[in-house]
Amino acid sequence: AFMATFFRGGVHHTQNRPFFFGSSDNDDDNDDKKGKGDKSKKDKSKDDGKDEGKDDGENNEKDDNEQDEKDSNNPAKTGDSEPSPSLNNSARYKQSTHSSNTSAGNVFLPASRLGFGDQAPRYPHLMALPVIRGPVFPGVLTPISIYDKKTIEAIEKIMSGGSGGYLGLFLRKDEPDVSKGLEKPEVITNATDLYSVGTFAQIQRMTKSADDNMHDDDHAHPFTSNEPKDEQDMDEKNDNYANLLIMPHRRINLLSVDDVGPPTDVTVSHWERLQYVRGDDSAQDDTIRALSQEVLTTIREVAQMNALFKEQVVNLVPSSHLFDMNDPYRLADFAASLSSGGEAEDLQAVLEEKDAEARLHKALVLLSKEREVSKLQKEISAKVEEKMSEAQRKYFLTEQLKSIKKELGMEKDDKDSLIEKYRKKLSEYPSIPEEINETIESELDKLSTLEKNSSEFNVTRSYLDWLTNIPWGVTTEENFDISDARRILDQDHYGMDEVKETILQFIAVGKLKGTVQGKILCLAGPPGTGKTSIAESVALALGRKFFRFSVGGMSDVSEIKGHRRTYVGAMPGKIIQCLKSTGSTNPLVLIDEIDKLGKDFRGDPASALLEVLDPGQNSTFRDHFIDEPVDISKVLFMCTANEIDRIPGPLLDRMEIIRLSGYDVPEKLEIAEKYLVPKSMVSSGLMVKESLDEQQSEDNDTEKEVASTDKSSYTEPVYHLTEKVPDSLSIGRSALESLVRWYCREAGVRNLAKKIDKITRLLSLQVVAEEEGAKLTEKSSRQSDTWHVSSDNLHEYVGKPIFTSDRLYEKDPLPHGIVMGLAWTSMGGSALYVETQGIKRGLDPEGKPRGGGTLKATGQLGDVMKESTQIAYTVARARLAEIAHNNDFFDVTDIHMHVPEGATPKDGPSAGVTMVTAMLSLALDRPIKSDLAMTGEVSLTGKVLAVGGIKEKVMAARRAGIKTIVLPEDCRRDFEELPDYLKDGLDINYATDYSNVFDVAFGLN
């Protein structure tokens, strides 16, 4: 009845029935006397632990008060050893004169009840019980858990005495830190840990238990109960905890802390009951009434929004013995006790407030916070419920739609649809191998019997996805037109005749046979020579799909041959992925950086590639995931490498090697003018490329007909400057020559392209800046009067030249003991010098020369080159003995040989003849002419052996301005195969024995 009245907001209905569940009036004395007649029934109720039910009513409280009055008037009992209630209730003054016969099992009840509410005694000395999370307000029956053994023993003494079981509850200023071992809230270490205002309360019941029921609802309170933090704390305390049921009566002031304990003894002063008298100030009465109504309204609003709050109100009203909605003080206390989310300091402020209006206002602030939190919680709940409802609605509708379609025959089961999709996919392939077809049918039968939620279903589905996506028997139409293929190859690449000829041969064979088989080509050469880019042009010329993957640093065999299907996330290797992505069984696959394969505990990918790149085996290639033979013999494999020496022998044996030498100066100039400069100008916005339609629109019909019939003729694209670019803007040939000679001497054109891009970007900046009138820095601004970039103003765009001369030694002849050699590197050919210096030693005390006959070699030489120095030293000594019998240079002189540059690693045997010549030049004291360079390995008997890289070495010699070259006789064929422009102007001398080299070097020939 009260809750219905309360939530309707009818305050006036409760005026005749204040909810004083423990009233201080003595209206029920007759009932109390009548209740004391049956002593056995009372003892039985004590044994059953049911006294607290009676204490909550009016009869038992009146009973205790009347009994206390009789005891105080009985002279026989005043002389008893039980302490007088008028002295104190402090734990340290208690005499343990009573046994625990007042307890029934593990439930303890106070030996006597001396008063309730305002009638409760006013002890000056009390045992203080610190609480956490919030203060305890008068009139609200509150459970508290305690864990300190000494505190529990002290409370037992208080309850066993005749003082009524009273103590003081004070809020701690800081909650104990469990992580530091302060897990007992009732234990304090300093008197300042407690607030100065607390609550005078009476223990209604104490329950000691060894059970792990500390989190039951009977033992917990949302703001004041001192609960254990976790199960570990409960296990540690076990027998050392007790649950108290406390009835707070009034507020008390903390005067002093006599003993911090545990237990804590304090001296207090009691508050007088605060009563608000209406009629003295009408304005204040209106304010109090408005605040009271707002408090009740807020409680009602929060209870309607928050079910937990409503349940809390329902639970607190019966236990709030002093609740009266017409008393602003008690109404504020009741409202504050409902605020579970309030800060402890704010709740304590309500407890300490004496003014009715201020106390109501502070309680209203706490309730307002509860209302805002409840609103936010309601919004969150509504959003979550909306999402859940929408998801459920969509799920139900989807399931209903599936059922309807299935009944009407419009849709099949998921598995049936999946199987039908696989069969439709298979029907598109012209021919499926019988072995593969049997495997697919077997997997489809297994799929139809599996549950959709099983893991095996997903594995089988993934397997079938790959099996049905491999293009069985699908091939792209080949281009057998040699002229058209030649035009496409010439369109984007200059030179590279050997690669182009090989592709044209491949097309011709396919045209004659009518069928096309795969091939394995390996393009080996320095970086920047177009190995990767020409592969895409080859695919376009052949009419094949293009797929590229790099194996540089790859060390996992699964990347090539796939994973086993038993692994989570398993998938096929790159070869099967290539077939799926290209949709054909005859694509062009580029395996990039094959000379940089890795190898570790996961396997050796080079060995896995043996099956892939073997024409005799790859017709039945088995991927670990597919685990069925797949024909990849029609695939054209092209590999790229910088150094074929790093490719394993068995793998190298399966490939046809096409060596790409570096570009010389004329080739670089052609590439720059035809490809690099226009491409860079277009990318920088300085030029635009005319489309094919625009070019044809400018020709007449006759020219169109000739162009359409002559596919072999390569038509260069047409470019023109954009509108805002000056007409005179261009990059001259002299600038390109300077770039090639003084900035970019590497074998490829990658660095040359970077330099050209740098020029065009700066030109774009200057064009835009002059159009807008923007000011540039001195480095970026145009310093010359022309927009034409030439060798004269090239330094304004790319800086100072990197190379300042063609050779280290410019004067002719060279100093004694210095000869130029020719070397091959992964970056192309290089001309380097071999320097020797003799060190003569003095005489020892006996007059004999010191040292002699030793050779020291420096320049970061490899093991092979170090051996060459020793062989060259022996050959030089032998030749010197033949040429000059009386020359003892090597006997009395130590030789130091050095090969610049010292920071560059060098290795190989091809510098043998150069080393011998340098040492003989030093020994004979005869110079070598500066335009002579040589290469060749020398044996111990003086034979000159063949070496490789002749084209790169000849190109390096031309760059260095060399006119005379000495080559091994066995390299004559390599030199004669070079283009004529590389051989023009060179005096080539071939040597079979070192004597031939000696004759050329020292001018005897």
Query: Any idea which residues carry the catalytic annotation?
Result: 910, 953
**Residue 583 contacts residue 545 (beta carbons within 8 Å):** yes
Among candidate residues 855, 805, 849, the one with its CA nearest the CA of residue 831 = 805
d(C-alpha 337, C-alpha 342), whole Å = 10
Among candidate residues 366, 361, 357, the one with its CA nearest the CA of residue 337 = 366
Q: Look at the block and give the residue holding tokens 């009034």.
A: 250
d(C-alpha 370, C-alpha 366), whole Å = 6
d(C-alpha 559, C-alpha 2), whole Å = 77
H or E element that contains 244: strand 242-259
Among candidate residues 142, 315, 117, 309, the one with its CA nearest the CA of residue 223 = 142
Strand arrangement, sheet containing 828-840: 855-858, 893-898, 828-840, 818-825, 932-934, 964-968, 987-991
State the Rg of the chain over Cα.
52
Residue type, position 453, single letter: N
DSSP string, 886-909: T--HHHHEEEEEE-S-TTS-B--S
> What token pair was written down for 550?
């790099």
| 794-802 contacts at long range (C-beta below 8 A, 24 or more positions apart) | 794/735, 794/738, 794/739, 797/758, 797/759, 797/762, 797/763, 798/739, 798/743, 798/755, 798/758, 798/759, 801/738, 801/742, 801/743, 802/742, 802/743
Residue type, position 322, single letter: L
Bond preceding residue 882 cis, omega within 30 of 0:
no
Buried b or exposed e, range 699-726, using 16+ CB within 10 angstroms: eeeeeeeeeeeeeeeeeeeeeeeeeebe
> What token pair was written down for 712?
């072999």
Q: Which residues contact 532 (CB under 8 A, 6 or more apart)?
A: 548, 590, 592, 640
**Residue 24 contacts residue 321 (beta carbons within 8 Å):** no
* Residue 261 CB-density burial (10 A; 0-12 exposed, 13-18 middle, 19+ buried): buried
> What token pair was written down for 781?
């601004």
Collapsed DSSP state (helix, strand, coil) of residue 320: strand
Bond preceding residue 318 cis, omega within 30 of 0:
no
* Residue 40 CB-density burial (10 A; 0-12 exposed, 13-18 middle, 19+ buried): exposed
> What token pair was written down for 666?
């004329």
**HEC profile of 299-312:** HHHHHHHCHHHHHH
Q: What single DSSP character describes residue 9?
A: T
CB atoms near residue 537 (< 10 Å)? 22
Q: What single DSSP character describes residue 373?
A: H
CB atoms near residue 484 (< 10 Å)? 15
Among candidate residues 562, 550, 556, the one with its CA nearest the CA of residue 466 = 562
How many Cα atoms sit within 13 Å of 489 on the Cβ side? 25
Q: How many residues comprise the chain?
A: 1005
